[in-house]
Chain A
Amino acid sequence: MDGKELLKVEGISVSFDTDLGPIEVVDDVSFEIKPGRTLALVGESGCGKSVTASSIMRLLPHPHGRVTRGRISFEGESVLDLPVEEMYRLRGGKISMIFQEPMTALNPVHTAGAQIAEVLDLHRADIAKKAREPEVLEMLKAVEMPSPESRMGNYPFQLSGGMRQRVMIAMALAGHPRLLIADEPTTALDVTVQAQILALIRDLQKKNGMGVLYITHDMGVVAEISDDVVVMYAGQIVETGAVLDVFKNPIHPYTKGLIRSMPLLDSVPKTELPTIHGQVPSPHNYPATCRFANRCPHADESCRANTPALEDFSPGRKVRCFKAGRV
């Protein structure tokens, strides 16, 4: 590695305390993001994507959740060892986050403008108090908010979902972050708004050269926005690679299933959409063997008896499957 990684996540495991004892919801996850690049973290609900993102920000629910193993370094600094005051500076300033639910992630009692101004207050000491309002307006224009002058005085309940998400993005970008974590930012939005928001994030990324960690379960979005893909299943990484490789030549049966279950324009109308049968096992009973075996069409006895490791498949590709390349 050339040491230019913005974010480097090395073998982190996250564990939660429950009534049934501690459970490990993220197991040995590693990836890295370079400046200006986008990494997509893909997987079904409950496979540990958001937990991974929260642990980068150290926002795991306290005191039940904690990182038990591994290292997270951001620009060479170990995030997990930083004092709290440093974290306040890091969050929103160097790493910021866009949340899934724009409906609830804005404070109902403050105006949109005031909430963006708060980020400026926290992280942009270079901007004088008087200059904040024009800056907020600039931010709102940058996220293509319609009629930004009047919208900045609006309260969240007066804004539509897409507008709120734009406010969230403006808030996330106001601190000029080096890394943007977008946790399913378009899931709650219409498809048309979704396309606008995706284009917006990509434009802003080009301008600022920031790294983006994009969390989603939508393979269509992945293809559109990302450079690299990490596919997670049941708390583990099952496949990584450059986006084109992964889409052209998915290796893990789970990735194949995800890509196959995307609706396509040229598929025959009224035919059944292929799905992955079964459900993600609950973290309490993740099997010690291949975690996908009970849903995998290719699983055999050896899959159910042994534990696969994440191994190099080809340059830039890693796969966790015994039958990699053979099915």
Chain B
Amino acid sequence: MKKPMFTLDPLTRKRIDRFKQIKRGYWSWRALLVLVILSLFSELFINSRAIVVSYEGKLYFPTYGAVIPGTTFGLDYQYETNYRELSKTLKANGKGWVLMPLVPYSAYEQDFKEGVYPPYAPSLVSRHFLGTDSIGRDIVARLVYGFRIAILFSLAYVFITFFIGTVIGCLMGYWGGWFDTIFQRIIEIWEQVPFLYVVMIVGSIYKPNFAIFLLIFIIFGWSSRTWRVRAMTYRERERDYILAAKAMGASTWRIISVHIVPNVLVVIVTMLPFAISGAISSLTALDYLGFGLRPPTPSWGELISQGISAYKTAPWILTSVVSAMTVILVMIAFIGEGLRDAFDPKKFTVYK
């Protein structure tokens, strides 16, 4: 006999089927998933390091791993090989070949042309497909690496805050009484602390890196996640099956994790996409204001601020970052809309 006891809930299956029927939500989900996965491997597509170097019959894969000094390939310097130069050199002396990524620039590297100051306009020849920013860094690289940081940041932020918010919200709802009252007041006071000022103050004391920034976001983000879960738990805990679970000897923790959380998960799932797009927007906004991640970390906010100041001379900066951001946020909104519709119980029932 197979394992019929722990299959996917037919209701969940129905919701997934319904989500698949909502075309733009489902396609946005697939496209976003592909983008996120690709961005995790963006070193292979957008990098100043070569994918493969063949030198004197030996193959090198410099993408991941330690710096390969120029002397390895018979060049006269100890610092990291410039693979774009190496490519030309090897072609000339015939000792091997270099396979460069699609965009042969990293997000941090400044590319200068003789006699002209950046920003450089988009060009297929130089492989700056969307041009460079005002200090010569490739925009495609900045966009993609900025997207990777933003999406990883928001996913981490959203999942951690939802985890904390769900645990505390469930306990507030389940225990009620003084625990609920005290936490409600704590959260109400906590939510009055102005987030932006704290970020500015902390940013002026420490140079916020990814982890510190995430921590600040989490410290201020968890509290707003508790309300809905708390309300749902209040409703669920009065159900007979909770009493039945108690009567069969389940502990508080078990009742919350096994019996209540699966029943309130629906609210959380429908809130997720909107929380993620919100996190991306606020990270971008803070970067734009200059309170975000420490430069030269690639970020959309920083690109927007550059793009605005150089709009007349280099319109490609603002155009590309705004388009990228719009597309991503709209896709996430579509996913959220699709999920909300798929989880809407009213759609399952038709009265005639």
Chain A residues within 8 Å of B, Cβ to Cβ: 57, 59, 63, 87-93, 96-97, 99, 101, 104-111, 113-114, 117-119, 122-123, 133, 136, 149-150, 152-153, 155, 158, 168, 171-172, 175
Contacts and interface: CB of A to CB of B under 8 A. Distances in A.
B4 A150 contact: yes
B7 interface: yes
Given A110-B258, A123-B249, A153-B7, 18 more contacts: A57-B246, A87-B249, A88-B251, A91-B246, A91-B248, A91-B249, A92-B249, A93-B249, A96-B248, A99-B243, A108-B263, A109-B11, A118-B248, A118-B250, A123-B248, A133-B3, A175-B248, A175-B249
B1 A107 contact: no
A101 B10 CA distance: 23
Given A63-B177, A105-B241, A96 B5 contact: no
B259 interface: yes
Nearest to A168: B244
Nearest to A149: B1
A90 B5 contact: no
A109 B262 contact: yes
27 contacts: A57-B247, A88-B251, A96-B247, A97-B247, A99-B243, A99-B244, A104-B240, A105-B243, A108-B241, A110-B258, A111-B4, A111-B5, A111-B6, A117-B5, A118-B250, A118-B258, A122-B248, A133-B5, A149-B4, A152-B5, A153-B4, A153-B5, A153-B7, A155-B10, A155-B11, A168-B244, A171-B244
A106 B6 contact: no
Nearest to B242: A107
Nearest to A119: B248
Nearest to B259: A107
A114 B258 CA distance: 11
Interface residues of B, number: 27
A99 B249 contact: no
Interface in B227-241: 239-241
Contacts of A123: 248-249
A35 B261 CA distance: 38
Nearest to B2: A153
Which of A87, A88, A136 counts the most B-chain CB atoms under 10 A from its CB? A88
B142 to A, nearest CB: 45
Nearest to B4: A153
Contact of A155 (B9, B244, B248): B9
B333 interface: no
B240 A90 contact: no
B262 A59 contact: no
A259 B228 CA distance: 51
Contact of A152 (B4, B244, B263): B4
Contacts of B247: 57, 59, 91-92, 96-97, 99
B239 A104 contact: yes
Given A149-B1, A150-B4, A153-B4, A106 B249 contact: no
A123 B254 CA distance: 14
B245 interface: yes
A109 B244 contact: no
Contacts of A109: 9, 11, 262-263
